[in-house]
Structure 1
Amino acid sequence: MTVTPTTPQVRQGQLPTGERYIYEIWGDLTTGQTPLLLVHPVGVGLWRRFWQRFCQAWCAQSDRPLIVPDLLGCGDSDMDQKPYSPQNWAEQLAHLLQIEIQQPAIVVAQGALMPAAVALAEIQPELVLGLAFSGPPAWRVIERKQTAQQQRRLWRLFCSPLGWLFFQYARTPFFLRRFSQRQLFARAEQVDREWMQLLAEGSRKKASRHAVYAFLSRNWQQGWGDRLAKMTQPTLLLFGEGASSISRDGWKEDARDRLQAYAQVMPCNQGQILPGRNVLPYEATAAFIAALTEFCANYFTPQQFNDAVQ
């Protein structure tokens, strides 16, 4: 089905704590199609517009609506000086689905924000009909647990003048381009003007540094292995063929190793390896959409949606 691309509706939600967050709706939430809730990564300059290329391409061929929030601390949402955790973001996403959207969704999480999606499925399982993880971290990283003491130590360091100097350097075009080429994209030429403008705009607000500090303090690293083993929702695992890592003990892991490690633990999943590296919705948009479309067609029909919301 071919659908004319749409301009998103920009809306605002407010948590019981008073914190405000911004989100976009792409498409029509009344079509009877289970919407996708897109969770952007956290990092210098990253916010909901990370998904814009994907959203435009998706809406050109599907009437399944998209929900695209700015996580707290990012983009146009409120930015407090606190160590945001996956639980904080999961509570925001639960409020978004339960109070604002009033529908369950398929949650699509990018990279190391996978724990926020898992935490959401733990606290409000009825709101999460399915999960798709794009380029999640190496298994040895995701099952590791950072102690609260280590997290506090890193948080205090990043909140010091040294952390401020780091943030100032990290949002320079030189650093952003070099980091993107070395760590995120399979090909250096894919770090284009659109990507650089996205990062420049997202890092303009100085208060966005606190979400970055929280992420770098590894508040998300809570030992998720056992919790992933308990997931019952249909789950799609997508890895870029260029994704690889070397652990501290010298263990080298490529994309196939990574997929196999997750697949052996998670009870209800399917997985694919796509062209690209670590930011598949942006660098391999067509292949990412094809994999996600097939996953949705297999598990999420309009009748299943109607049954879920009744």
Structure 2
Amino acid sequence: MQTSHTASPTQFYTWQNYRCAYEISQPNNSISEVPLLLIHPIGVGLSRQFWQRFCGEWHTKGYRNPIYNPDLLGCGESDMPHVAYNPKDWANQLHYFLQTVIKKPAIAVVQGALLPVALELVQKEANLITGLILAGPPAWAVITKKAPKLQQKFLWNLLDSPFGNAFYRYARTPNFLRSFSTRQLFASENTVDAEWLNTLVKGAENIANRYAVFSFLSGFWRQDYSSLIASIKQPTLVVVGETASSISQEGKQETPDERLADYLAYLPQGRGIKLPGRNVLPYESTTEFVTAIAPFINEFS
């Protein structure tokens, strides 16, 4: 069953004097459905474009939920100030977005290591988040270990320099992006396609995107989030790839089953599922991802 829908052209709102971009993918008869708020990953050239395959597949399958797909500050078509971002900053941005643009409770779908942003958002405004979907969350050893502040600051200062500038220019080349994606993100080299690489190359054209990337690499998101995870009252679906891996040393030994079990042991209303693929399931295994999360989302209708 197909549902006709329209993806809006890029729209903008102002948050703390910054111009922030988003788009809405909305079927024509979606008024009563719970909206989805997508939280894209941070990385070289990454932005809300990460979710385009998912949005297309979701509506092609006939689901009518309106999808709100914002660019986080420092990414995509949003402003890119020269600041060190932390998860609370992006959570504050999304909190404002929920209050002023979506204006009703939504299900947050968060990719990978942006999980801390969703956790901070729930802390800030539990009433506007009705459920959570964690797509390829970080290894448990990573999400529950605080990085030393001095280390974070040292890494930021190292990257926010001519060295970092040169590194970013190298990191946005197709060869580097293909190599990194094959080594760290995708289960199969064949799925690292031209669409993926072209999107990243285009997204990294503006060199100011490096500040969001450097903030992420500096580990400002590395805290012990176990108590926040344990405090989530909302139903939460954890989706892990069958070949999920960890970029960080702490999570190298963990199996996908162990990762799932650790999250479910802490989440009061958690449930979990494994899918073919590795660390970017909404992109690499789009059809399977949509099929897996649809029953969960439909429970909120």
Query: TM-score normalized by structure 1?
Result: 0.93
**Residue matched to 1:221:** 222
Question: In 1, distance between residues paired with 2:5 and 2:258?
Answer: 37
User: Is the 2:87–2:120 contact (alpha carbons within 8 Å) kept by the matching residues of 1?
Assistant: yes
Amino acid at match of 1:292: I
Alpha-carbon distance between aligned partners in 2 of 1:115 and 1:74, rounded to the nearest angstrom: 17
Gap change, CA 1:257 and 1:246, over 3 Å in 2: farther
Q: Distance in 1 between matches of 2:41 and 2:249?
A: 24
Cα 1:251–1:160 change in 2 (3 A) is closer
Alignment of 1:16-95 (within 5 A): 17-28=16-27, 31-60=31-60, 61-95=62-96
Normalising by structure 2, what TM-score?
Answer: 0.96
- How far apart, in 1, do the equivalents of 2:246 and 2:88 lie? 27
Q: Assess, with a 3 A threshold, how the Cα gap between structure 1 residues 277 and 250 changes in structure 2: closer, same or farther.
A: closer
Aligned to 1:114: 115
Identity %, equivalent residues: 46
Return the alpha-carbon distance in structure 2 between the equivalents of residues 32 and 86 of structure 1: 31
Q: CA deviation at 1:2?
A: 2.5
Deviation at 1:100, TM superposition (A): 1.6
1:232 matched to 2:233: yes
Letter in 1 for 2:194: R
Q: CA deviation at 1:262?
A: 0.7
The separation in 1 between residues aligned to 2:214 and 2:208, in whole angstroms, is: 11
Alignment of 1:162-201 (within 5 A): 162-201=163-202
Query: Compared with structure 1, are the counterparts of its residues 246 and 127 closer, same or farther at alpha carbon in structure 2 (3 Å cutoff)?
Result: closer
Please, what is the CA RMSD of the aligned residues?
1.5
Helix, strand or coil for the counterpart of 2:6?
A: coil
| Aligned residue in 2 for 1:129 | 130
Provide structure 1 residue ranges, at least 5 long, that are not aligned to the other structure: 302-310
SS of equivalent to 1:243: coil
| Partner in structure 1 of residue 12 of structure 2 | 12
The residue aligned with 2:292 is: 291
Q: Alpha carbons of 1:277 and 1:151: their partners in 2 closer, same or farther (altered >3 Å)?
A: same
Structure 1 CA distance for aligned equivalents of residues 56 and 250 of structure 2: 42
Equivalent AA in structure 1 for residue 56 of structure 2: Q
Give the length in aligned residue pairs.
Answer: 299
- The within-5 A match list for 1:144-159 is 144-159=145-160
In 1, Cα distance between equivalents of 2:67 and 2:163: 39
2:118 alignment partner AA: A
One-letter code of the match for 1:25? I
**Offset, 1:30:** 5.3
Give 1:251 shift. 6.3
1:179-210 deviation digits (Å, cap 9, x = unpaired): 01111111001011110111011101000000
How far is the alpha carbon of 1:41 from its aligned partner? 0.2
Task: Provide structure 2 residue ranges, at least 5 long, that are not aligned to the other structure.
Answer: none
- Aligned: 1:96 with 2:68: no
Stretch of structure 1 that moved more, 206-215 or 242-251: 242-251
Cα distance between partner residues in 2 of 1:248 and 1:196 = 26
Q: Which amino acid letter does the alignment assign opposite residue 23 of structure 1?
A: Y
* SS of 2:10 mapped into structure 1: strand
Task: From the superposition, tell whether residues 18 and 51 of structure 1 become closer, same or farther in structure 2 (CA, over 3 Å).
Answer: same
